[in-house]
A = this chain, B = another copy of it.
Amino acid sequence: MIDFSYCSPTRYIFGRGVESQVGELTAAMGVKKVLVVSGHGSARRSGLLDRVLVSICAAGVQTLELTGIDPNPTDDRVYEGIEICRREGVDGVVAVGGGSAIDTAKAIAGGVLYDGDFWDFYEGKAVMERALPIGVVLTIPAAGSEGSGNSVITRKSDMKKISLRTDMALRPKFAILNPELTFTLPPFQVASGIADMMAHIMERYFSPTDDCTTTDRVAEGLLKAIIEEATRTMAAPDDYQPRANIMWAGTLAHNGVCGCGRVEDWVSHFMEHEISAVYGVTHGAGLAVVFPAWMTFMAQHKPERVAQFARRVFDVKESDDRAAAFEGISCLRAFYGSIGLPVSFGELGIENPDIDLLVKRLHANKGEVIGGYYRLTQADTYEIYKIMNL
């Protein structure tokens, strides 16, 4: 274990109907006028958005809306939100939706209190120390943004996805988690969300830091729980309990507890971001393609932790590390396939991927040599993208 400082101050309110508490929770943040940020019509069609607005109004807090946030949210909506907040004197934000609405709300919350361009934070030119208070009503368990201090925004000018990780400023004050709100998600979106939360755990699990038994075991436990409950939830979309377990696991996957005491990896996310940016695929589905490919490379070059993953998450019995790793990768691909996810460029709908372009963009954005678990050159990432052709 390496030294760390960790604080996850978000209050999680979990259960049936808990979105009725959003007004009271928003008022308790000391907010007088709130910007409610949401995605496309589903929250409105289901009546959720109206219930949220009514609850907030009933608590004596004025509301303004920013709606129609797209998946892979872009900076134009952030600028629009900042402008509304400044013009109207908004002093808090509430996101209703998944990672896109939450990450946009976070960028706005931090940008409003900053004189310069909000991109300064994302590009490392400034450190975000404060933001408007943020609340979340989660409808898509996937991104884990409801419990993290992170935000990812796409810059429209060059379609570059840029991540910001703050220690505290962007951690939501509250996150309302009602599993019932996820019953109507399309199966492909549910499955992509599952791949996303598993990736959040695995990016932390594949670490060069030895002797993290406690954090390892927590991560492995969460992965096992997700795999078990994913199968149940795909088979019975209206069953509350699997949904509840998946939702809670998605939060724990990304609130930082799986990273305590170690260096993290994140190369698979970086590689997927380029696929998403160039081909517009769903992030989680892209991760289901990237991760087994990345692991296949590692099975050949540094198999130890892939073997541990195989043995502890998929109960692989093989004693040779390389063989165990390959068996674990097969199990992971089979699992992704079983919930309807692609595991190759072809299945992702990309027949002739421009791997040169992906590698070029990846290293231009992230550096010549990348990755925490194993340092990857351009030749290495080229090879990993190649594996995705199967």
A residues lining the B interface (CB < 8 Å): 1-16, 18, 210-222, 224-226, 228-229, 241-242, 244-246, 248-249, 252, 257, 260-261
Cα A214 to Cα B3 with chains together (Å):
27
Residues on B with beta carbons closer than 8 Å to the beta carbon of A5:
11-14
Which of B213, B222, B244 sits near A217, CB closer than 8 Å?
B222
Cα A214 to Cα B177 with chains together (Å):
15
Contact A7 B12 (CB under 8 A): yes
Q: Binding site of A, secondary structure by majority: helix, strand, loop or mixed?
A: helix
Contact A245 B213 (CB under 8 A): yes
CB distance from A52 to the nearest CB of B (A): 18
Known: A214-B248, A252-B218. A11 touches B6 (CB 8 A): yes
Residues on B with beta carbons closer than 8 Å to the beta carbon of A2:
15
Residues on B with beta carbons closer than 8 Å to the beta carbon of A249:
214
CB distance from A193 to the nearest CB of B (A): 15
Known: A217-B222, A221-B221. A245 touches B14 (CB 8 A): no
Contact B260 A14 (CB under 8 A): yes
Residues on B with beta carbons closer than 8 Å to the beta carbon of A3:
14-16, 18
Cα A255 to Cα B16 with chains together (Å):
24
Which residue of B is nearest A2, CB measured? B15
A/B interface sample: 14 pairs, CB < 8 A: A5-B11, A7-B9, A8-B9, A211-B241, A212-B245, A213-B229, A214-B252, A217-B222, A218-B225, A218-B252, A220-B221, A221-B222, A244-B261, A257-B257
Known: A3-B16, A4-B14. A248 touches B217 (CB 8 A): no
Residues on B with beta carbons closer than 8 Å to the beta carbon of A13:
5
Cα A42 to Cα B241 with chains together (Å):
49
Contact A225 B213 (CB under 8 A): yes
Contact A260 B248 (CB under 8 A): yes
Contact A4 B11 (CB under 8 A): no
Name the residue in A8, A212, A213 with the highest tally of chain B Cβ atoms < 10 Å from its Cβ.
Answer: A213
Contact B229 A221 (CB under 8 A): no
Residues on B with beta carbons closer than 8 Å to the beta carbon of A6:
11-12, 14
Residues on B with beta carbons closer than 8 Å to the beta carbon of A213:
225, 228-229, 245
Which residue of B is nearest A7, CB measured? B11
Cα A257 to Cα B241 with chains together (Å):
18
CB distance from A354 to the nearest CB of B (A): 39
Which of B211, B252, B257 sits near A245, CB closer than 8 Å?
B211
Residues on B with beta carbons closer than 8 Å to the beta carbon of A220:
221
Known: A245-B211, A248-B1. A225 touches B229 (CB 8 A): no
CB distance from A232 to the nearest CB of B (A): 9
Contact A214 B222 (CB under 8 A): yes
Which residue of B is nearest A6, CB measured? B12
16 more A-B contacts (CB under 8 A) besides A2-B15, A211-B244? A1-B244, A1-B248, A3-B14, A3-B15, A3-B18, A7-B9, A8-B8, A9-B9, A211-B241, A211-B245, A214-B222, A214-B248, A216-B225, A217-B224, A218-B221, A219-B221
